[in-house]
């Protein structure tokens, strides 16, 4: 499967009638590098953790950029079979069609086999606007909170909205 491009994502959102706004910027690989964009892009900014349990159940935890996630206990909240560890970059590419540094909730568009459970943190979902990479880390796409849920539903995913941060 060839992963979808940002343009594919934008067409998909347009076809769903979902408003979105994208700002291009130099590639950012960490939350620290992306902080300079805050003044230009309002809303909740995301950090994504691609994790798996011992039974190879994969999860994408999307949380507010400065939030802390306790990887020793989060399995009890997300209903994983065991403690979680980070998923391998190969699985990230296979399931979500993105490389490390570009991980995003929009990766759901590439998870046609529904291999990943998407978990959106409750605190992040307090924001009206959620900001995610559009499958690449050289841009940020802003989308309404409810529209993010609608996008995920259109990809065949029902995200869990849970309090996964400390």
**Residue 156 exposure: Cα atoms within 13 Å on the Cβ side:** 9
Q: Report the pLDDT value the prediction gives residue 33, as an integer from 0 to 100.
A: 73
Asked whether residue 31 is assigned to any structural domain, the reply reads no
Specify burial of residue 104 (Cβ count, 10 A radius: 0-12, 13-18, 19+). Answer: buried
Q: Which of 76, 156, 160 minimizes the C-alpha distance to 120?
A: 160
Residue 34, classified by CB atoms within 10 Å of its CB into exposed (0-12), middle (13-18) or buried (19+), is buried
Give the pLDDT confidence score for residue 91 in this predicted structure: 97
Residues 6+ positions from 161 with CB-CB distance below 8 Å: 119, 120, 121, 122, 125
Q: What is the pLDDT of residue 124?
A: 96
Q: What is the pLDDT of residue 26?
A: 86
Nearest CA to 4 out of 123, 98, 67 is that of: 98
141 domain residue, yes or no: yes
Mapped onto helix, strand or coil, the DSSP state of residue 12 is helix
CA distance 124 to 7: 25
**CATH label of the domain that carries residue 116:** 3.90.960.10
User: What pLDDT was estimated at residue 71?
Assistant: 93
Q: What's the confidence (pLDDT) of residue 92?
A: 97
Q: What's the domain range around 57?
A: 6-21+41-162
What domain count does the chain have? 1
In a domain, 48, yes or no: yes
61 is a domain residue: yes
Q: At what angle do helices 6-15 and 145-154 cross, to 10 degrees?
A: 100
Could you tell me if residue 35 is inside a domain? no
In a domain, 77, yes or no: yes
Indicate the SS3 state at residue 49: strand
What pLDDT digit, counting tens, does each position of 4-52 carry?
999 999 999 999 999 999 999 888 777 777 777 667 788 999 999 999 9
Structural contact between residues 51 and 85, judged by C-beta atoms closer than 8 angstroms:
yes
pLDDT of res. 28: 77
Asked whether residue 57 is domain-assigned, the answer is yes
| Cα 61 from Cα 18, distance rounded (Å) | 23
The 10s digit of each residue's pLDDT in 109-160 is 999 999 999 999 999 999 999 999 999 999 999 999 999 999 999 999 999 9
Confidence of residue 73 (pLDDT cuts 50, 70, 90): very high
Residue 28 lies in a domain: no
């Amino acid at each position: 499967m060839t992963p979808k491009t940002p343009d594919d994502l934008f067409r998909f959102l347009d076809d769903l009638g979902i408003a979105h706004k994208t700002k291009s910027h130099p590639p950012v690989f960490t939350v620290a590098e992306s902080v300079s964009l805050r003044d230009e892009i309002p809303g909740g900014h995301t950090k994504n953790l691609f994790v798996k349990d011992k039974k190879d159940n994969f999860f994408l935890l999307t949380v507010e950029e400065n939030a802390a996630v306790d990887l020793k206990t989060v399995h009890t909240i997300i209903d994983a079979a065991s403690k979680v560890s980070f998923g391998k970059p190969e699985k990230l590419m296979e399931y979500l069609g993105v490389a490390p540094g570009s991980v995003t909730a929009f990766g759901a568009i590439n998870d046609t086999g529904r291999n990943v459970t998407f978990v959106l943190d409750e605190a992040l979902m307090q924001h009206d606007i959620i900001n995610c990479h559009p499958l690449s880390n050289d841009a940020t796409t802003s989308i309404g909170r409810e529209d993010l849920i609608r996008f995920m539903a259109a990809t065949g995913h029902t995200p869990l909205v849970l309090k996964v941060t400390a």
